[in-house]
Amino acid sequence: MLKNLCTSAIILFLISSHFLVFAQEGLDKIVNPKTNGTGYVSNADHILSNETVAKLNALIKPLNENGKAQVAVVLVNSIGDQVPKDFSTALLRKWGIGDRKKNNGLLILFVADQRRIEFEVGYGLEGLLTDLTCQRIQQGLMIPYFKKGDYNSGVLKGVELVVETIDTGIDQSLDEDNLYPELGWVLFQDILFFLVYIGAYSAYTTSQRGQYVVHSASGWWVPFLLFGPLIIVSVVALATPIFVMWDLFFLISYCCWSVFFSFAIGNMLASEPVGETRVQQYQYLKLMVWGFTVYAVLFPLPFLIFKYIGAKRRLRKLRYTPYQSPDSGAEMVLMKKNRALELTDKEQMEEKLGSVSYDLWEAGEGDPVMKLAYLNQNTKIRRCKKCLSITAKKTKRIVESKATTKGEGIASVYYTCQICGKSDFINQPISRKPQLNIFKGMFAAGLASSGDSNSSSSDRSSSSSSSSSSDSSSSSSSSSDWGGGSSGGGGSGSSW
Ligand SMILES: [Zn+2]
């Protein structure tokens, strides 16, 4: 019985070890740069240009000569359906990359069809090239180029930083200036976007109609309007690897905003206008449409556009559907000529200044004219305290105290009535300067967490049976002039 068990265990072992050998079969197909004397780069599928290969060899050669490390770069179109991590571990062992005693080998494996880059790190280098360091270099430097199909730059920049790290003994990936090659430009674009957005938002909220809309809103969504989507996206970004792809990050951020605004604003536009008369309803809806035009432009989602067009149509209907004459019941028409005869001097001045427009409806000769006043909520003309017409025009603005990032400023704005000549002034708050440190902090947080959030394939292979490792080191020493080093499966990989 016991004997049977032992036999089956041995058979199982033989079968499994046979499978191990079978799994590494493709290794023979990888061109060993040592055996055909081309240096340190295996580029049989011509993924890199000859120029890049020459640069890589020049970079790697000194490390080999001063005994700090042995680095091999292998680029292949495909390894079939084998796992790149297992493959790179096996290949490093088979070739014996690294000094036999120091085990200072590093294999950089690029698999095109699986869109995978693996760093296979020998024991001796694991202290310097930790999994985290490998991932920072891959995701912060190489993957952004790979995504754009620029394999030459991606591999070259990555190897440069690896070589510099090994050469100096200092983890160069900790210096963020070395990573995120185009982050500066992307950051600039995004900050520009935010500045435009904040500018539009603050200009809008400090305008008369903006204040009306913001103050008349229920309140909770106003701060959410600006920060809500940003917070949501930041939480998502910190919890997922999305932050590496800044373009996607901001696309999602923009989509969140768009969807949020579409529903919030669309519903407001579609709600029944407040007011007893058609004029009041018109004014209410007009305010909404005006106020949200900036958002319709910033977030042109079909849903919002339809609501917007619908609101415009309702506005026309409210204003221009003919009234019935209260006397004769006849349909009235809008007066186009001789309007001056029906309007007072004040009203004419108001129309001239654009603060009020008057609709004059008449049924026929001799019938009384119906006069409807439409206040222009978008006007900068104020109501005169003396004659009560909306004819006070701004003459000058004096800044009493400047706005800072900590508090509002105050400006005195002077007005003169164009009818009676009375001068007056109002104190106007100047919006606090927006604090951009919030964004800075978020970007920093995104960068700091960049190391540990992506898929770590540090599958520390337990299958490294002693027989296979001794087998590989012996074969490596005979078949190549790599140093005969080995790997415990250290290092890390990233996909793009
Ligand atoms: Zn006046």
Over residues 411-464, the pLDDT tens digits come to 899 999 999 999 998 888 777 765 544 444 444 444 444 433 333 333 333 333
Q: Give residue-wise pLDDT tens across range 376-419.
A: 877 889 999 999 999 999 999 999 888 877 778 888 999 999 99
- Across residues 50-70, what is the average pLDDT? 90
In this model, does residue 80 exceed pLDDT 70? yes
Please, which residues have CB within 8 angstroms of residue 124's CB and are 6 or more apart in sequence? 98, 99, 102, 103, 104, 105, 485
Residue 361 has what DSSP assignment?
A: E
Tell how far the Cα of 459 is from the centroid of ligand 1, in angstroms: 82
Tell how far the Cα of 291 is from the centroid of ligand 1, in angstroms: 29
In this model, does residue 208 exceed pLDDT 80? no
Question: Residue 115, by phi and psi: left (phi above 0), alpha (psi -120 to 50) or beta?
Answer: left
Tell how far the Cα of 345 is from the centroid of ligand 1, in angstroms: 12
Tell how far the Cα of 212 is from the centroid of ligand 1, in angstroms: 24
The pLDDT value given to residue 228: 59
Tell how far the Cα of 414 is from the centroid of ligand 1, in angstroms: 14
First to last CA, the chain: 53
Tell how far the Cα of 416 is from the centroid of ligand 1, in angstroms: 8
The pLDDT value given to residue 198: 59
Q: Determine contact, residues 296/311, Cβ cutoff 8 Å.
A: no
- Across residues 62-74, what is the average pLDDT? 90
Tell how far the Cα of 100 is from the centroid of ligand 1, in angstroms: 97
Q: Give residue-wise pLDDT tens across range 352-362.
A: 999 999 999 98
**pLDDT class for 67, splitting at 50, 70, 90?**
confident
Q: Determine contact, residues 102/490, Cβ cutoff 8 Å.
A: no
Which of the pair, 173 or 109, is modelled with greater confidence?
109
Tell how far the Cα of 344 is from the centroid of ligand 1, in angstroms: 14
191-227 burial code (b ≥16 CB/10 A, e <16): eeebeeebeebbebbebebbeebbeeeeeeeeeebbe
Which of the pair, 444 or 106, is modelled with greater confidence?
106
Structure token digits, residue 97:
């990359």
Tell how far the Cα of 415 is from the centroid of ligand 1, in angstroms: 10
Tell how far the Cα of 391 is from the centroid of ligand 1, in angstroms: 7
Which of the pair, 231 or 157, is modelled with greater confidence?
157
In this model, does residue 375 exceed pLDDT 50? yes
- Across residues 323-350, what is the average pLDDT? 88
Q: What is the average pLDDT score of the chain?
A: 75
In this model, does residue 218 exceed pLDDT 90? no
Of 244-258, 325-339, 478-492, minimum mean pLDDT range:
244-258
- Across residues 177-198, what is the average pLDDT? 61
Q: Express as a percent the part of the chain with pLDDT over 70.
A: 65
Q: Determine contact, residues 138/105, Cβ cutoff 8 Å.
A: no
**Angle in degrees, CA 73, 75, 78, rounded to 5:** 145
- The candidate with the shortest Cα–Cα distance to 163, out of 117, 116, 127, 129, is 129
**For residues 46 and 76, what is the distance between their CA atoms, to the nearest angstrom?**
8
The helix/strand/coil state of 372 is strand
Residue type, 361: W
Structure token digits, residue 361:
């409806």
**For residues 481 and 349, what is the distance between their CA atoms, to the nearest angstrom?**
96
Of 3-17, 270-284, 411-425, minimum mean pLDDT range:
3-17
The pLDDT value given to residue 479: 39
Q: Express as a percent the part of the chain with pLDDT over 90.
A: 23
In this model, does residue 325 exceed pLDDT 90? no
Q: What is the pTM of this model?
A: 0.43
Of 79-88, 162-171, 211-220, 340-349, minimum mean pLDDT range:
211-220
The pLDDT value given to residue 321: 93
DSSP notation for 228-271: HHHHHHHHHHHHSGGGG-HHHHHHHHHHHHHHHHHHHHHHHHHS
**For residues 152 and 290, what is the distance between their CA atoms, to the nearest angstrom?**
52
Largest CA distance in the chain: 123
Q: Where are the beta strands (DSSP E) in 55-189?
A: 70-76, 105-111, 116-121
In this model, does residue 107 exceed pLDDT 90? yes
**For residues 10 and 16, what is the distance between their CA atoms, to the nearest angstrom?**
10
In this model, does residue 367 exceed pLDDT 70? yes
